Amino acid sequence: MQFPDHPVPIVVLTGAGISKESGLDTFRDEDGIWSKVRIEDVATPEAFRRDPERVMEFYNHRRAGLLDPAVHPNEAHKALARLQESWPEEVMVVTQNIDNLHERGGAKDVVHMHGELLKVRCEACGNISEWLEDLTIDTPCFVCGSVGTKRPHVVWFGEMPLHMDKIEWALTHCGLFVSIGTSGNVYPAAGFVSMARLRGKAYTIELNLEPSEGSSLFHECRHGQATDLVPAFVDELLMRNAA
């Protein structure tokens, strides 16, 4: 299959690798988050029921890290925002990340399939609200008044990712699928390339520091730092459209 020779709808999937150069830890690298703490202890519904204080402490620490003034969107985030603004067709940015660096870099309508670190959800009334402070089990819901029902608005292992209908529709109607900074071993995101390629007939490209577990499924792979690869790729796309 050849690279599209005209503007087509694009779906971009991003993972932890795009935010690493902004100062945030990845998960599955040798020194990543899951090398320091067990998934079963902090990132499952069972962990939250068993020890909510520990789970909240883990996410409080991550929230504080995201709010550190030293953490800011990098050139890869900004390049995708530029693509959204300049590309004549829709560019949907779907992220596995729970940070807000895409939005801070200028991207619009980012689809957060794993939730958002700077939001909390009430399990009693369903209210979702922005949250920049530490969260405790004693934090009341300001909508329904319930206590002990607040949790981070993130998708834990064993829970269904968000916005899947919207994502699947876009994957089967796009002409180009780009995967950036993902490990390729966490489903359902690891299956997006097959969905876009086989069901949607899209051209597929991986931009990653190194080959992902699913790299052989892509039509094309480019490997290196996201802050180098993504701006160059966006420039290439926009130049093709201008030609």
Q: Which residues participate in catalysis according to the annotation?
A: 114
Strand, coil or helix: what is 151? Answer: strand
Angle of helix 226-242 relative to helix 75-86, nearest 10 degrees? 20
Measured over the CA atoms of residue 213, residue 216, residue 219 and residue 220, the dihedral's sign is: positive
How many angstroms separate the CA atoms of 107 and 92, rounded?
A: 10
How many angstroms separate the CA atoms of 32 and 221, rounded?
A: 23
Burial class (CB in 10 A: 0-12, 13-18, 19+), 79: buried
What is the DSSP track for 4-69? Answer: PSS---EEEEE-GGGTGGGT---SSSTTSGGGTS-HHHHSSHHHHHH-HHHHHHHHHHHHHHHTST
Could you give phi then psi for residue 16, rounded to 5 degrees?
A: -60, -25
